Structure 1
């Protein structure tokens, strides 16, 4: 077995791992990157980029279908060629993956080790059965994978996860999507708009990542108007039909009746689990949470074992690409400079669901505020509906609600949850304000053009400022910036 001695070993070659590698190399050249699967990020291969390609195709169809609302009537029947849709998705997906692989190719071959790593102890890794590495510091950046009930494996190749969707050569006729979270909402709605028969099922009533009951209720109602959604379904049976590539699902529908839905695929979008269960963590003294995931300091990414750091989806923190990139940089930097550990920049939380209407969340969630401040009634909620907001109505995109949260006494902006048009862009404005620790009054002093959807943000902030007793009461049909604001 080959023996290596290195300063830093990084397990995983995805977004967090590549970021950690580059950061560690700034301090020492003696760094290795261990990867057991294909190089390239979850985002580029099976996540955010291919899903947005599918959504873009679906949006093009939806815009044609909406055209009569403007008095524009496209001639002829809309024809969706599933093979052409999937060809473009795979072609562009491969292009994005190529960019990642180009950066991987720049890494010296001597720094890359192929295989799956396991801990022998807190300083030693065994890669498959060919290499043993003694590392002064280690970064865990092993990513995550889809999770679903094991019994579903009985469906065989009729059970798919989001990773599989983007390898389809054609669009199927019917799909049951389980899990109305980020992935389920995005893929389920996109497939529906592309002509696939879709039913979206969940348990417990959760819709998206939302925690504000009113915003979630609005989302549930809005999506149900477009496609079948039951966020708390009772499934009576789900089985693969004999001698068939079909799955039969029997469930209780909204009318309380037993309904049968026969599909080509069951898409499991029921969450992801960190890839830490096969690392033999029991051979270290790392403290793990109830899920078996190593805990780490939020600012340094250092685990309970001083020389081991963790970053990205493998951690018990936020599983998003921009977070993984930040965490990788922090963990790699600290592994490289150890023992001179430093706190890294942790940005204000921001997340988005690219459904239509879009969902977005910024700063502290409603649930977090209820837990932290609810008992003392220390925060208020300002709101706006986009149903009558001027620019939203102009574009026939007037669906949604925005809730913004502010702190009594200080007037500081605490966070927001929303569903609505251009929510991804509104969330960025609010995230910048949150990171700068702005007050509601300071945010209202910022410029707002007319007519734009952002005027809805101002309306919500004015409502909040009044409830915090820091500003005047809302004036109905305020005209200081034109009609429909």
Structure 2
């Protein structure tokens, strides 16, 4: 048995763990990075990148299939094996880049093993070795879970960890979970010719506000069924899975479980770490320092399940790594404006903080993208944007988006919110015509009017033709 000693030990070599190790080392710490596989990040292997590769293939098929609207005649023949081969080839290239960055770490930094707490500050490894560290960062990520009812049909079940390894597209697919991943993959598979149905026990899509969820459902449901408030019962069927639910039943070749990814904490023996755990078994931590209580333990990324997104994991890893290095001199870091995006078509996003329905300290403006000029030109006139601001000063605080190319609108609004801009400030910025961004102006004007901040030159007395679907008045 060998005892490895370090200033900072990081458990997990995903986005958060790599960021934590790098920042701790840059601040002068002797670091150890512990991972059982060093296979690459979730983003590269089973998340952001392969899912967007599949969506890109579906976009190409959809564009060709719907080109007739623009007077372009074409036909579509989807080669499933070729689609999946490109997904894997490019995914593996992204993952290879991550593994190369790991290979470039200083000698002796990486320990390939599974780690568990033996005592505060002490880790036992499944290799028989031990690690003693002045501070420890937990960055174990999250894991795909198969609900118990689906264990009997597990040979037909896919998760984000296995979806991109299939050799060919299935003929039919049931998607369990109407979160971002479930909806993205459902729409992509549908665009590639797969018969898809989506099931979710909740009453909203992708944890969106009701109004935005309704707009997204209106855009998606004409193409494939979405069953909300529904928990289907699976059973084995010849070469597939039979699902039955209140009011229906159907058979599918495959089932994609996209109903959430719990933090991967069970194997860590957290009971030996001297930490306070919440009702879900997650260490209680400060999101501005990433510290667990007052212990020399920090938790970052999907493992804490606070903001399970890549850019947040990278930021949290940086904060955790710096504070682990400097412990006990722990410093708080202001968090960026919350931003989450689902790459459905239309894209949806939630930016900042959304007020409660009965909150009278905020005003709300709406922009209708089903009647927006550039969206009509693109043949994508669908959706809406809701923007919120403080009544007292018109400062933007949050937004919910369902609109074509909503990822770009979300970034613009996130930057405006984090910069402390008012709706009036944003209206004084340039809006090019014709663009999707100028479609935000009606919502911003509505906020200014409600908050009493309207300026004469910002009124919508004579809008540009087609800027948001209306004709010039006056």
Scaled to the shorter chain, the TM-score interval is over 0.9
The Cα shift of 1:478 comes to 4.4
Matched-pair contact (CA < 8 Å) for 1:361–1:415: yes
Q: 2:2 aligns to what?
A: 2
The Cα shift of 1:480 comes to 4.2
Q: 1:71 aligns to what?
A: 71
Q: 1:144 aligns to what?
A: 142
Q: 1:250 aligns to what?
A: 244
Asked if 1:308 is matched to 2:327, the reply is no
Which of 215, 230, 234 is matched with 1:238 structurally?
A: 234
Q: Counterparts of 1:248-287 in structure 2 under 5 Å?
A: 248-252=242-246, 257-258=247-248, 260-287=249-276
Q: 1:13 aligns to what?
A: 13
For residues 179 and 458 of structure 1, do their structure 2 counterparts lie closer, same or farther at Cα, with a shift above 3 Å needed?
same
* Aligned equivalents of 1:60, 1:313: Cα separation in 2: 32
* Aligned equivalents of 1:83, 1:439: Cα separation in 2: 50
Matched-pair contact (CA < 8 Å) for 1:285–1:305: no
For residues 222 and 480 of structure 1, do their structure 2 counterparts lie closer, same or farther at Cα, with a shift above 3 Å needed?
closer
Q: 1:350 aligns to what?
A: 339
For residues 319 and 234 of structure 1, do their structure 2 counterparts lie closer, same or farther at Cα, with a shift above 3 Å needed?
closer
The Cα shift of 1:108 comes to 2.6
With the length of structure 2 as denominator, give the TM-score of the two structures. Answer: 0.95
The Cα shift of 1:132 comes to 0.7
Q: 1:449 aligns to what?
A: 432
Asked if 1:395 is matched to 2:391, the reply is no
The Cα shift of 1:443 comes to 1.3
Q: 2:45 aligns to what?
A: 45
* Aligned equivalents of 2:157, 2:61: Cα separation in 1: 27
Asked if 1:298 is matched to 2:281, the reply is no
Q: 2:168 aligns to what?
A: 170
* Aligned equivalents of 1:437, 1:413: Cα separation in 2: 7
* Aligned equivalents of 2:47, 2:305: Cα separation in 1: 19
Which of 429, 438, 444 is matched with 2:421 structurally?
A: 438
Matched-pair contact (CA < 8 Å) for 1:148–1:271: no
Q: Secondary structure at the match of 2:271?
A: helix
Q: 1:208 aligns to what?
A: 206
Matched-pair contact (CA < 8 Å) for 1:119–1:280: yes
Matched-pair contact (CA < 8 Å) for 1:311–1:331: yes
Provide, for residues 5-54 of structure 1, a one-character-per-residue CA deviation record: whole Å limited to 9, x for no partner. 21110000000000000001012352100001333100000000000000
Q: 2:103 aligns to what?
A: 105
Q: 2:391 aligns to what?
A: 408
Q: 2:24 aligns to what?
A: 24
For residues 305 and 125 of structure 1, do their structure 2 counterparts lie closer, same or farther at Cα, with a shift above 3 Å needed?
farther
The Cα shift of 1:64 comes to 1.1
For residues 451 and 169 of structure 1, do their structure 2 counterparts lie closer, same or farther at Cα, with a shift above 3 Å needed?
same
* Aligned equivalents of 1:477, 1:124: Cα separation in 2: 65
Unaligned runs of 5+ in 1: none
Provide, for residues 45-87 of structure 1, a one-character-per-residue CA deviation record: whole Å limited to 9, x for no partner. 000000000000000011112211112222xx41110000001
For residues 461 and 130 of structure 1, do their structure 2 counterparts lie closer, same or farther at Cα, with a shift above 3 Å needed?
same
Q: 2:448 aligns to what?
A: 465
Q: 1:91 aligns to what?
A: 89
Q: Secondary structure at the match of 1:10?
A: strand
The Cα shift of 1:151 comes to 2.5
Q: 2:154 aligns to what?
A: 156
CA RMSD in angstroms comes to 1.7
Matched-pair contact (CA < 8 Å) for 1:450–1:482: no
